[in-house]
Amino acid sequence: MNTDIAVLNSCFGIDDQVVFKTISEHFSIVEIDNAHASASISLQGAHLMSWVPKGGEPVIWMSQEASFESGKPIRGGIPVCWPWFGDHSANSSLPAHGFARTALWEVIQTEALKDDTTLIAFRLIQEGGNHDGWPYSAELEIHFIIGDSLKIDLVTRNTGKSAITVGDALHTYFAVSDVRNITINGLDGCPYLDKVDGSEQKKQQVGDVQFDQETDRIYLESTEDCVIDDPGLKRRIRISKLNSESTIVWNPWIEKSERMGDLGKDGYLNMVCVESANAADDVVLIAPGEKHHLWVRYSVE
Ligand code: TA6
């Protein structure tokens, strides 16, 4: 896999629209800028770090204290959780949310599309046995279309000889004016596992989700659009998705964010995670040779 910046720019750069650069030793990113939006994505984890529609505010939150070190998860942006969500079911000493988000992905495609949006795609090849906790073979690709909406397609292809079970998520940190003043709708009536209360199964009462404490919920049977209503920024962020049965809603609030140490002072106030996933009992079974697409579209209204 080639990570030489000059080679990447020669093979995949697009004048003034797609440019590869390093931001620290062994940490390379790609910056995208087109008529509709700008974005940046790290090659580690194929991790989108920013997306700003032209003339708008950043939609994706990044911690002021985020570290950009090889092999270390980035706090903010869109971490790719794969091939498991949360703790590994059999070995909690393995990295939370799997290994894809700290692996180095290869760039496989860039294209300036006819509607002046930009497509960029990355791949991670997993050979059976080269990661603890997941002795299977698969190819993972992520395709981004950067425009005044953000479309993401996370594709798992089973390249092995036996069926595989995959938990996956786009663990997206959305930027908000003040988490105490936003609401999230689209989860009415959904059952959820309350990770702040021993993962007890509860049911979302009719009405929007609001925040006044640490919130960490895995909503199940949640396939509808979610909308983050943010009066402070006078905007609504719509989260549409396909092939995702779970939605995780997370804000660490005060104590947990102080314990985590990398959200920045009061950083928790300006973020909320709404994660399109297949987690807990919603994990997906993929037969040999088959593919699974987890697809989302983020748009600002
Ligand atoms: O998606 C919510 C969650 O599972 C929380 O429990 C919290 O752990 C968060 O992910 C962040 O996880 P990370 O491994 O990125 O620190």
Cβ contact 299:237 at 8 Å: yes
Confidence band, pLDDT 50/70/90 cuts, at residue 2: low
The residue from 47, 88, 97, 171 that is catalytic is 171
CA of 75 to the centre of ligand 1 (A): 10
Structure tokens at 79: 């971490």
Of 63, 85, 170, 171, the residue with max ligand 1 atoms within 8 A of its CB, to mutate for a pocket test, comes to 171
Q: What is the dihedral of CA 295, 243, 155, 78, to 10 degrees?
A: 50
- CB of 219 closer than 6 A to ligand 1? no
Residue the block writes with tokens 């040999």: 288
Q: What share of the chain is helix, strand, coil (3-state, %, to 5)?
A: 10, 45, 45
Burial 227-259 (b: 16+ CB within 10 A, else e): bbebeebebbbebbbebbbbbbbbbbbeeebee
- CB of 96 closer than 6 A to ligand 1? yes
- CB of 275 closer than 6 A to ligand 1? yes
Which residues, including other chains, have CB under 8 Å from residue 108's CB and lie 6 or more apart? Answer: 121, 122, 123, 141
- pLDDT tens readout for residues 207-262: 899 999 999 999 999 999 999 999 999 999 999 999 999 999 999 999 999 999 99
Domains (ranges, CATH) in the chain? 5-300 (2.70.98.10)
Task: Clarify whether 111 is annotated catalytic.
Answer: no
Specify the DSSP class assigned to residue 28. E
- The answer to pTM > 0.85 is yes
| 91, 170, 217, 301 from 267: Cα distances, Å | 31, 20, 20, 24
- pLDDT tens readout for residues 64-99: 999 999 999 999 999 999 999 999 999 999 999 999
- pLDDT tens readout for residues 129-181: 778 889 999 999 999 999 999 999 999 999 999 999 999 999 999 999 999 99
Nearest CA to ligand 1 atom 14: 96
Amino acid (1-letter code) at residue 228 = I
Cβ contact 60:174 at 8 Å: yes
Specify the DSSP class assigned to residue 45. T
- CB of 97 closer than 6 A to ligand 1? yes
Strand partners, 60: 174
- CB of 195 closer than 6 A to ligand 1? yes
From the CA of 86, give the closest atom in ligand 1. Answer: 4
Task: Clarify whether 171 is annotated catalytic.
Answer: yes
CA of 116 to the centre of ligand 1 (A): 35
Long-range contact list for 194-197, CB < 8 A, 24+ apart?
none
Amino acid (1-letter code) at residue 121 = A
